[in-house]
Each structure stands twice: as C-alpha cells, then as structure tokens.
Amino acid sequence: MLELTPNTLAERSALRINPCKTCQPVGALYAALGVHRCLPHSHGSQGCVSYHRTFLTRHFKEPAIASTSSFTEGACVFGGGSNLRTAVKNIFDVYQPDIIAVHTTCLSETIGDDLNAYIMELTIPDDKYVVHTNTPSYVGSHVNGFGNMMAGFIRYLADARAAKNNRVAIFPGFVNPGDIREIKRLAGLMSLDCIMFPDQSDVMDRPMTGDYEMFPPGGTTIAEIQMLGGVLQTLALGEFACAEPALVLKSKCQVESDLMPLPMGIAATDRLLMAMSALSGQAVPRELEDERGRLLDLMLDANPYYHDRKTAIYGDPDTVIGLTALALELGLRPRYIVTGTPGELFTTRVKTLLATYGREDCRVKAGADLFELHQWIKNEPVDLLIGTSYGKQIAKAEDIPLVRAGFPILDRYGHSYNPLVGYQGGLRLAEMIASALMDHYDRTCADEDFDVVM
C-alpha cells in the first residue's frame, strides 16, 4: 500500500495522514506517572483513557495505570462534575494514592467543564491532593500535554514560601527512564543535589520482582514538588516540553531557569555539564572527560560511513532537535526534518542549528505528517531515517535503513532502558547509526564488495 504513496505534492491544511504525534492527554498521563504514588485521572470517556494507557504501555512494555470519569451521554449533556466527585471518592477509597492528577480530554474540553471549580468543591481526605490541567486533544501534541501537566503540579503544590534548600531542579523533558537515570548520574558526578521532576525511573522501568505494585517506589515526591519553590535554579531540558513549567515556577516562586536543548550529542552535553559545574562549583571529572573522548573516537573512526549521508529525522520537537545536532556533529547531511507538534519556533530553532554547520539545504516543517515526509523522499531519496516506529513503513517501501529513536518505539524492546542523552547516549546513537548504514551496505553491495573488514 505504501508503494502507492504519490510523489505529487498537494498542500493539506485540514487533513493529516500517518501523524507524527499523538494527543495531549498521553503526555499528561506520562508526566503524572513521574510523581510518587500519583494516579493519573482522565476526565472523559473510558475509550479515551484506554487508548492513552495502551499507547504508553506499548512503548514502555510496562502497565501505565490511570483512572477515568467514565463519561456517558448524561455527562456529555449535563457536565462531568458528578462523575468526577464519584471518581475521586472511589479512587481514594479503593486505590489509596497520595495524589490524583486530573487531565481533560476532547470531550470534557468541548462541553466546557470547569475542573478548577469542581476540585474546589471536592471533599479530599487529609494529606491527600487533587491537581489538574487542561489538555484539549485537538490542540498541540503529547509534548504540550506533558508540559501542561508539569505546570499543573507546580501551580497546585510548589510553595513560594519554601525555605531556600540549595538544591537544583532538573526538568528532564519528555524522555525515557533510561535518559532520566543518565541525567541523574551526570548530576551525581558533578556533585549536584537535584530534584528531578518528573521522574519516571523506577516507575516505567521497574525491575521484575514477581509482585505487582500499583505504586512503584520511583517518582518525584509531593514534598519535593513543594520544595521547588526554594531551589537555587531550574535546569529545563527541552524547550518545547519544559518552557511552560519553568515559566510557571518562575512566575509563582521567582525561581530562575536555564532553558536548554536536550543534552544529545557533544555540544549540548557540554552545555549541560558547564551549567552543572557553575551551580555546584565542581570541575568536570575525568570520568566524563573520558566518556567524551570515547564518543569523539567513534565519530572519527566511523566518519567514512557518516560523511554526507542524506538523512531524514522526525518525531517530537525536542528529540528531533537533539538528533539533528548529533547528526550534524557526525557529518551526516540532514535533508528533511519534521515534527508533528505545531509551532514555527521549531523551524526557527532547527534552521539556526543547520546554519551553524552550513547545511541550509534542508526542508524543515512543524505540524507535518509522515505521508508528506514520504512524498518528499519519493522525490529525492535519503540514505537514512532516524525516528519512531511509525517510519518503518517508509523504510520498507523505499529500502532505507531506519534507526529507531524517540517516542514511540512500539516494535522493539529495551529502548526505554538505554539513554540517548549524554556522552553515553551519543555513543549509543553513533553506533546504531553506523551499524544501520553498514548493514544496509552489506545487504545491497555487489558480491565482490562484500567483505568481513569494513
């Protein structure tokens, strides 16, 4: 079927084919799972939360818990206030979380439910909390929903009167638990006392013990979120996921933030470590210098395979910017760069990055879909695809090697345990890219060029 994708381009403004994103509630649900003993709650129909949970479960291969207001026809007409009141009481009685994080759906947004008013009228047990954010599915993407849920926690819980605690807040962005572990490792090596928010490690990558835990031991605690009002500074990684929560924390608690790209590749990781060094007063340790050197060594060794290979990169905006930076450092030639998340800020950031390396001959688009990317590739092929599982059909139809990176990865295992950030993540990506290109060469070369030494 994909071989029938036409190469004749037509401008589409009201239709997306093979989208390069999903909806806001998915991101909100994932952000809430990064809070200790938190139960995400979808204020909408059962079908909505079933989809959102399934989407996350397929990526992480772990159960993504969430509850729902279970809208029926009556709630659609008269509002979902009664459903929310019943749901909150039942959740605290049956599941006993410490906090419920409510997000909206298309349905509750369209009928205009006022969650703030509903929550103010709730009877909430002592030492328990209910927070909310608005996540209309027809606006933005899951990345926006992730940031909106973070901002919701901060609005409700961050204490502007909190005592100064000499800690640093790190907002890791929409990344995997493996990335969060790597960022925490870097912070530890830099002697930085940090609050990671949110923190899905030990939640969405909990080891197999034989016993099911509805609320695993991981996640940012409520006390830590309250302490955000007293931190020295925020390191917000990923402008598109973390700009809004960083702005809310500054507005509410006067905490300054350093907004930077995800630490993918050499330059972005260098920038993060320099920021950590300035805050901790510690020099970068030899261990990290050696990791950087090993990444550089691999980049030089495999340069003949990277050099000037035309590449298409797609996925979430923060991840795509990070992947583009690494691709440029490797010597690849980005030809098409797209994200499904709308907003011209993305194109501005990517074009600035491309101009730094003299690679302006690249098509960049936000709010795009993979059907359009496929059409571009049909008109001018590329040597490599980097992105999510949804690009595998293009890879198969056009016989292009695919390196899976980002969210979601639905057709492989183990990806969420391994980082893409830091020098270690760069080393992993550089090896994956080189292997994909070399495997494709082995598969397609003439018999006389097929050798065991590359």
Confidence check: pLDDT of 11 > 90: no
- Residues 317, 262 contacting (CB under 8 angstroms): no
Average pLDDT over every residue of 401-427: 97
What residues contact 438, with CB distance under 8 A and at least 6 apart? 305, 454
- Common-topology check for domains 24-157 and 168-284: yes
Quick check: helix, strand or coil at residue 434? helix
pLDDT band, very low/low/confident/very high, at 315 (cuts 50, 70, 90): very high
Confidence check: pLDDT of 74 > 80: no
**Closest Cα partner for 35 from 1, 73, 65?**
65
* Predicted pLDDT of residue 5: 87
What residues contact 390, with CB distance under 8 A and at least 6 apart? 18, 20, 370, 408
pLDDT band, very low/low/confident/very high, at 369 (cuts 50, 70, 90): very high
Q: If you ran DSSP here, which 8-state letter would residue 139 be given?
A: S
Average pLDDT over every residue of 261-265: 97
Lowest mean pLDDT among 159-163, 182-186, 252-256, 322-326: 159-163
Q: What pTM value is reported for the model?
A: 0.95
Average pLDDT over every residue of 323-333: 98
pLDDT band, very low/low/confident/very high, at 441 (cuts 50, 70, 90): very high
Average pLDDT over every residue of 230-248: 97
- Residues 19, 342 contacting (CB under 8 angstroms): no
Average pLDDT over every residue of 135-144: 94
pLDDT band, very low/low/confident/very high, at 1 (cuts 50, 70, 90): low
For the segment(s) 168-284, the CATH number from 3.40.50.1980, 2.40.30.10, 3.40.50.300, 3.40.50.720 is 3.40.50.1980
* Predicted pLDDT of residue 4: 79
* Predicted pLDDT of residue 15: 86
Distance CA 177, CA 417 (A): 6
* Predicted pLDDT of residue 255: 96
Quick check: helix, strand or coil at residue 264? strand
* Predicted pLDDT of residue 152: 97
For the segment(s) 288-449, the CATH number from 3.40.50.300, 3.40.50.1980, 1.10.3720.10, 1.10.238.10 is 3.40.50.1980
CATH 3.30.70.100 fits 24-157, yes or no: no
Domain boundary assignment for the chain: 24-157, 168-284, 288-449
| % of the chain beyond a pLDDT of 70 | 99
pLDDT band, very low/low/confident/very high, at 2 (cuts 50, 70, 90): low
Query: What sign has the CA pseudo-torsion 33, 39, 42, 43?
Result: negative
